[in-house]
Amino acid sequence: MIAVGCIVMGFGCFLIGLPHFLMGRYRYENSLSVSENSSTIAVCLANHSQFSMATEQPSEECRKQAGSLMWVFVLVGNIIRGVGETPIAPLGISYVEDFARTENSPFYIGCLQIATVLGPLFGLLIGSYCAKLYVDVGFVDPEDVTLSLLDARWVGAWWLGVLICAAVSFIVAIPFCFLPKSLPKEGEENSAELNTKGNKTLLPAENAAHVSTTIREIAKDFIPYLKSLAYNPVYMLFLLITVIQFSAWIGMITFMPKYMEQQYGISAADAIFFIGVYNLPIICAGYFFGGLMMKKFKISTYKAAHIGFWSSIVEYLIYFSAFFMVCKNAKVAGLTMSYEGLEQVSYMETNLYADCNRHCGCSTKVWDPVCGENGIAYISACLAGCDISNGTGKNTVFRNCSCISAFGNDTAVLGQCNRENCGTMLQYFLILSLVCCLIYSFGAMPGYMVLIRSLKPEEKSFGVGLHSLAERVFAGIPSPIYFGAMIDTTCLKWGTKSCGGEGACRMYDSDTYRQLYLGVPSALRAVSYIPCVLVLLILRKQNKTLVQDDKELEAREEENGSVEQKDVPAAQNSTHVHQETMDL
């Protein structure tokens, strides 16, 4: 089943990357013609022809392209990938747990958890590399692309990473096909070969009947297992904790690259790289040492729950420091500051106009930012009041910019301005995320063992599978949706699609973005600690019962031992008297 899951995952990834080869080339908003050979272009006066893409009525062919169903490939591909992924974790963990010693299983499962982190680590590194490549790499001339990595319109080669994942999934499925269906219990006689030999003796008809019986048995046991889990308070509360905390985690990790882009002014490729290098290796270390601690000290379920709970609390309190690692909004005229240089956040489109550019009749729909010599960015060269431009492509320089001249030099270049004093805050944020990941992952393995040990041996596969399903359905699917909807409310400037209509957000209010991005997970995690406390109380009660039973058992054993000791001298005296009688 694990091998089949890998093959299904590979097919799903292939479907996700397929639309890139079926749709046209990426067209981004652009107020300049990159093929223009003239050294000067009248930007401000010729605005109507330059912004025609955003203002003219879209053609019928363009409308059809905009209504393309390519997104269906991505949706179906993700569904198929999820179906293939589902059996891998529960069956893999159950495979190890069933055939490992009790004291060794936390260490082995910790190693498996490390593998689940190493995968995303390499994935993020590959993703970072692909994000630096233009989406149509190999199909367009790089000199014709006027975008930089820091530009909000930049789209990386997303499809390349997905196809690499598809190839890896197909390759990994091969060795899984040759693993035995069962492993011998550690320290016990190898029975795998006996089982294999026994299976080989079955005739095809007998084998089919055996499989049919197995399926019927599984179907028959489904309702009893489900009922048993529903009446397991520790399992159900742990399920609730997982859904709430995973909702917070998936929302944060999904939008973390965008948060780092907007808050600290770095590219998506750099953000992905930093996440992979700073966070994931330390998570591996936390999983490893957490599993090693469970193995070495043979920690009970009750103590493991306490370790998981208190490590999470400590990390939660440290996490609040992120609220103070602030960078100011990027300086963009009409959005985060006025044309006079005063800081103000505005969601009003009319504020993009000022006396210095009103005579140009510029469009506010196109996002093609330029950075003025005054350190302020403008939505376009036209809105900066620039009359002429020199050069072509990325080397274009705009001159005679009336909105910039009030500050001295009246020139501007393509792209947004660099953020000030954000490098230090970015370093603090990365160090904080490293510390939080280490503490949280250290307690994750003891916490996960609470789930494993709350299940009966025959329920482990079903219970872990249901846990994974709940994670994805109730947290993995809705969390990015409502996180994304809330973050969209902080958008200051929306882009325009090639056929008209609202496109992707080009710039956010970073202050409001930070409050929502950090605040919503904080609230979710605070709620999750309520069922955590209930789990601790239940385990405490169970632990007291176990301790009391152990004491009673020890008392009975001591009592039986003392009785036996009394019987030995009595028997010796009886033998002595009998011997004396015989002597007489």
Predicted confidence (pLDDT) per residue in 359-404, tens digit: 887 888 888 899 988 888 999 888 888 888 887 777 888 888 888 8
Query: In the 8-state DSSP scheme, what is residue 156?
Result: B
Residues in a beta bridge with 399: 388
Residues in a beta bridge with 551: none
Tokens of 220: 């028959």
Query: In the 8-state DSSP scheme, what is residue 416?
Result: P
What is the per-residue pLDDT for 210? 47
The amino acid occupying position 582 is M
Nearest to 459 by CA among 152, 199, 221, 255: 221
Residues in a beta bridge with 390: 397
What is the per-residue pLDDT for 236? 95
3-state secondary structure of 507: strand
The amino acid occupying position 67 is G
The 10 Å Cβ neighbour count of residue 378 is 31
Query: In the 8-state DSSP scheme, what is residue 528?
Result: H
Residue at token pair 């958008």: 491
Task: Give percent of the chain with pLDDT exceeding 90.
Answer: 27
- The helix or strand, by DSSP H or E, that contains position 212, with its residue range, turns out to be helix 204-230
Contact 8/176 with Cβ under 8 angstroms?
A: no
Nearest to 453 by CA among 242, 227, 302: 302
Condensed to tens digits (0 to 9), the pLDDT of residues 169-228 reads 999 888 888 877 766 665 555 444 444 444 444 444 444 444 454 556 666 778 888 899
What is the per-residue pLDDT for 528? 95
Condensed to tens digits (0 to 9), the pLDDT of residues 96-142 reads 777 777 667 777 777 777 777 778 888 888 999 999 999 998 888 87
Which residues of the chain register pLDDT less than 70? Answer: 31-43, 45-68, 102-103, 182-219, 406-408, 498-500, 550, 561-584
Q: Cα separation of 394 and 34, whole Å? A: 9
What is the per-residue pLDDT for 581? 43
Residues in a beta bridge with 388: 399
Taken as a whole, the chain contains a residue count of 584
Domain edges within the chain:
26-57+329-406+477-508
3-state secondary structure of 362: coil
What is the per-residue pLDDT for 434? 93
Contacts of 200 (CB under 8 A, 6+ apart): none
Q: Cα separation of 268 and 517, whole Å? A: 17
CA distances to 37, 138, 152, 392, 393 from 142, rounded to whole Å, are 17, 9, 18, 13, 10
What is the per-residue pLDDT for 48? 46
What is the per-residue pLDDT for 218? 61
Whether pTM > 0.85 for this model: the answer is no
Q: Cα separation of 459 and 228, whole Å? A: 9
